[in-house]
Structure 1
Amino acid sequence: MSGVELGVIEGYYGRPWSWEARREAVARLAPHGYRFFIYAPKSDPFLRRRWQEPHPAPAGAELRAFSTFCRERAVRFGVGLSPYEIYRDFGEAAQAALSAKLAELDSFGLDDLAILFDDMRGDLPGLAASQARIVHWIAERTQASRLIICPSYYTDDPILDRVFGQRPDRYLEDLGALLDPAIEVFWTGEEVCSREISPGHLDRVASQLRRKPFLWDNYPVNDGPLMSPFLHVRAFTGRPAAIGPHIAAHAVNPALQPTLSQIPAITLAESYRQGEAYEYGQAFLRAAREVAGEDLARALLLNTTQFQGFGRDRLTEENVARMRARYERFDHPAAREVLAWLDGAYDISLAEIEAT
């Protein structure tokens, strides 16, 4: 195993995984060195717009049971909370609501608590100071042994400035200077969905944050109206093992398809283990065989270009018919995910994202 702490952060928009799928992912990935799982799907309103309300009893029971499942496998369990724009008015009412939510989350059995300030307006004076104050307030009250913050500006990508307002000058530097060194900070790289991540880039960000970034890797995630017509199944590339000493940990944001997501996740672990000897094509085949078996692995390899290069919207009727016939032969969850993708079951509209 590599020295890099690997894990999953379930941080996508759209159709959520089932609890059984989460358990299967933990069981599959733990032997490959995945040591944490952070539950933070954007579809859970009680962690986002309705964060001030408790989870319904059945959902709370599922979270407690999943926490136990993870810990029994030496996997840290965490939750990502997005207290929507709480930094705009962190008065007595907000503090009381947040205190109640933290108590609820503690009851689930947390090892990790992520406070997510992403996808919120950020062009506000004193943003870093307000967020640091809130996170320190939380640190004094949570029972989680690790606290991680996602900044409002978690990448160099200018798309965040266009959507959420121009980032304040020296935002990262101020946040890094104000935060307790024990608090980790998520970072996605040079882009929201970074094509590659280099040691030099990570070192520059570490100097700004005064700590190694906790990598939130937006691959193989495929949420949103632009990405949901694609299946991201290829092995990891652009994350050389050389970045390991430059990060605090490496969290993978998976695709909407839980079984297929296991394939690239396994290849990331292999990349860290093998270093310069890593071959992404061979890594894909080994991981796909493990997850899906020999015959289905070969079928997935055959269609990788259509999945990831063309996308469903560019497939002809003949392409779709051939693929449907190919995957209907398999009684396997990975094949069923391909068929559901062909049917448009994972499509996400912009309106759905804005309502989340």
Structure 2
Amino acid sequence: MLRHRLIGVVEGFYGRPWQHELRLSYAGFLQALGLNTYLYAPKGDPWLRKRWQEDWPAEEWHALAQLAAHYQQRGLFFGVGLSPFELYGRYGQGQRRQLRDKIRRLNELPASLLAILFDDMPGEQADLAERQAEIVADVLDWSDAGRLLVCPTYYSFDPVLERHFGRMPADYWPDLGRLLDPGVDIFWTGNRVCAEAITRDDLQRAAGALGRPVMLWDNYPVNDGALRSDHLYLAPLSQRAGVLDPSVVTGHLCNPMLQGRCSLPALLGLAGLYAEGAGPHPDLPEQLLGASLWRCLQRDAEEFRVAGLSGMSAQRRLALAGEYAGLPGPAAGEVVGWLRGDYAFDPACLTD
């Protein structure tokens, strides 16, 4: 059975979370770009990660349900990314019951996707693949979502993962690919956690290691790390080869910046990769952000990308903040906040 290719965003970053209004607005942004998917998986939602066993407070749950319904009404794919923290370290009857209850709660959402995320957790465990596959098999039995996605603990060839999360067990990737149901998508970020380029050879190597095509979790233009939080990435996504080959890629989700509206120019490149026909009009950022802001962003894009905050003098940052504060729209406010240091680095993000 041919499945839809999921192309869109994964809200999967650390640090300052997006506001509910911005998440709702992204449905229209995705449609304007010709994209089809939003995966809600912010690291800052404790009821998805460190406190996953607990239920959301009523207000937060209502907002999440409203978000899921909003995307369903727009005809877009919406999903939630659950990170049951270190569950694979001890998965007994009690933990299994807690996970079943959480999945049943998520079944109340009108969400067509569910992701189980084992990323950025300790992984030096001999039976890691077996325990994670056991968890995913249970989730498949309990979940009403039409499609399940999984992020491995080791989701890239990048050696930084073993430095932070322990040595990867032997044969982890082939074992995980063999043990997971064939219909489960497996996330991959490229040869690096934040890959500057992804080649066809990279994708073939990853698909070969896992024994199946990968779902790209593209960490561009995300800027939540110690180094990347110093910068804004406004250039359209580029240097992605081979992504159109369904034998190696089943979908492509970009992890945006903490500045959600300012991420739209980067997502124009994602839209262009998969567009049928002419693709999105190059003037779309101007339409979505406003003409005056877009002119300023084009002028300053290289400085924001290369010099970043640490490469600018305090006087320069202050002058730019004053200029952007005079521009209309919430996207200009994102730039002002970044220039003033409001998007502080979250030290929980270890893999810049």
Please state which band the TM-score falls in when normalised by the shorter chain: over 0.9
Partner of 2:106 in structure 1?
105
Per-residue displacement from partner, 1:158-215 (whole Å, max 9, x unpaired)?
0000000011112111111111101110000000000111112111211222211000
> d(CA) in 2 for partners of 1:290 and 1:45?
35
Q: How far did residue 353 of structure 1 move?
A: 4.5
> d(CA) in 2 for partners of 1:35 and 1:216?
15
Corresponding letter in the other structure for 1:325: G
> d(CA) in 1 for partners of 2:146 and 2:111?
8
Among candidates 262, 265, 268, match of residue 264 of structure 2: 262
Partner of 2:244 in structure 1?
244
Corresponding letter in the other structure for 1:243: V
Per-residue displacement from partner, 1:9-66 (whole Å, max 9, x unpaired)?
1100011101110111121112322211111100000001100000001111111111
Partner of 1:202 in structure 2?
203
Indicate if the aligned counterparts of 1:157 and 1:192 stay in contact, CA closer than 8 A: yes
Corresponding letter in the other structure for 1:264: A
- Any idea what SS the aligned residue of 1:37 has? strand
Partner of 1:132 in structure 2?
133
TM-score by length of 1: 0.92
Indicate if the aligned counterparts of 1:214 and 1:250 stay in contact, CA closer than 8 A: yes
Q: How far did residue 273 of structure 1 move?
A: 3.0
- Any idea what SS the aligned residue of 1:262 has? helix
Among candidates 299, 324, 340, match of residue 321 of structure 2: 324
> d(CA) in 1 for partners of 2:282 and 2:316?
23
Indicate if the aligned counterparts of 1:46 and 1:53 stay in contact, CA closer than 8 A: yes
TM-score by length of 2: 0.93
Aligned structure 1 segments of 4 or more residues deviating by more than 4 angstroms: none
Partner of 2:75 in structure 1?
74
Among candidates 294, 299, 319, match of residue 297 of structure 1: 294
> d(CA) in 2 for partners of 1:65 and 1:274?
31
- Give the number of the structure whose residues are more often helix, by fraction: 1
Percent identity between matched residues is: 38
Q: What is the RMSD of the two structures over their aligned residues, measured on CA atoms?
A: 1.9
Corresponding letter in the other structure for 1:317: A
- Structure 2: unaligned runs, 5 residues or longer: none
- Structure 1: unaligned runs, 5 residues or longer: none
Q: How far did residue 263 of structure 1 move?
A: 1.8
Indicate if the aligned counterparts of 1:119 and 1:152 stay in contact, CA closer than 8 A: yes
Partner of 1:314 in structure 2?
311
Partner of 2:45 in structure 1?
44
Flag the 1:84–1:112 CA change in 2: closer, same or farther, 3 A: same
Partner of 1:90 in structure 2?
91
Equivalent residues in 2 for 1:99-248, closer than 5 Å:
99-240=100-241, 242-245=242-245, 246-248=248-250
Partner of 1:342 in structure 2?
339
> d(CA) in 1 for partners of 2:315 and 2:335?
16
> d(CA) in 2 for partners of 1:231 and 1:74?
31
Indicate if the aligned counterparts of 1:15 and 1:346 stay in contact, CA closer than 8 A: yes
- Any idea what SS the aligned residue of 1:224 has? coil
